[in-house]
Amino acid sequence: MLRKTYDWIMRLAASRHAALALAIVAFAESSFFPMPPDLMLAPMVLARPRKAFVYAAICTAASVIGGLLGYAIGVFLGPVAHQILALFGHPQGQQEFQAWFARYGLWIILIKGLTPIPYKLVTITAGLARFDLFTFVWASIVTRGARFFLTATLLKYFGPAIRAEVERRIALYATIGVVALIALIVALKVFG
């Protein structure tokens, strides 16, 4: 089953619809969708390394535009924003994140935008906190661009070796990924 899923993702990544799918996922992930765009970006770069930086640019632009939707949800749709935060494990998210924005401001966007922590939590709470929109936009461009261009660069130059290794031991890496994800969730629940 893992092999079939992997092959399907690689076929989609090489298809003519890949760039549109990447843009949709990156846009949605920044405001309400749980799947990180890296899951589309990585196989797309592996399938077409020459287009690595085009894909990173698409991912960055769509993510920032989606971030504006997340910001707007926080500003104009408070009840919806609270439901999304609760869905992602932060029922008291507004107070928690507003305290973070009051204390750390710009650093929240810059650091969280680089991490695998769902960016929608940052975008929505930035809107709830009425964080400066101009600063939010340029910081999102910097941090999301850094993340996606770094991923694209690493995969462009080291991807073929990584791909060969993953294809050879796909079950092992899938197991490691699931264990790491469970460990991250447990750590966030215990220490968050």
- Please check the confidence at residue 48 and state whether its pLDDT lies above 80: yes
DSSP 156-184: HHHHHHHHHHHHHTHHHHHHHHHHHHHHH
pLDDT in tens, 83-101: 887 777 776 666 777 777 7
Domains of the chain: total:
1
31 close to 5: Cβ distance less than 8 angstroms: no
DSSP 38-59: HHHHHHHHHH-GGGHHHHHHHH
| pLDDT at position 179 | 74
Run of H or E including 61:
helix 52-76
Domain range for residue 61?
2-191
| pLDDT at position 96 | 72
Task: Report if pTM > 0.85.
Answer: no
| pLDDT at position 6 | 62
- Tell me the average pLDDT of the chain: 82
Mean pLDDT of 67-86: 89
62 close to 24: Cβ distance less than 8 angstroms: yes
| More confident site: 111 or 52 | 52
Reported confidence tier of residue 75, pLDDT bands at 50, 70, 90: very high
